[in-house]
Amino acid sequence: DSVLITDPDGNPVTELDVRLSPNGSGHADSQTSMSADTQNLKSLRLWSNSSSDAAVKLTLDDSNVATGSAFTLNSTSGGQLNRMTYKVSTIEAGAAKKTFTNSGETKNYTLAPVGTHAEKEVAFLFESTAAYNSYTEGAYGGIVYANVTVGP
């Protein structure tokens, strides 16, 4: 059986358009990729097509860096390569935030059976690791790949 990331209706999500912008904390963060009423963000689901496959693993991999290196967005503003390191966290109801800081990291999740499938609502938060004003101005971009697999 397959496990994947979906929207609240169960439709597979294959990519997120993430744009980091300054916020009150002085760090750049995303405002369209997670759910929290105070941040006006959307939730997604970790989803298994089998209600018996409740243990899953989520691995995040950054296309800009080698496995084990910090997540990094790139910009070519000013005719030079600029980098912004960031972290990705998942937030779920009734559980501590789980933070991914390096490409290739894996975290474990337990899904709840819902009829013939199992799911867990999660919110993804992307946040720069340094204060926003420490980075060169410009549009930073990159790709993070998410891989969800059935756990042991």
The three-point CA angle 133-134-135 to 5° equals 90
Segment 29-84, tens digit of pLDDT: 555 443 333 344 568 899 999 999 999 999 999 888 888 999 988 888 889 998 88
Top pLDDT among 6 and 21 is at: 6
- pLDDT for 56: 95
Out of 15-24, 45-54, 61-70, 98-107, least confident range: 15-24
Q: Distance between CA atoms of 132 and 140, rounded to whole angstroms?
A: 12
* Structure token pair of residue 87: 């972290």
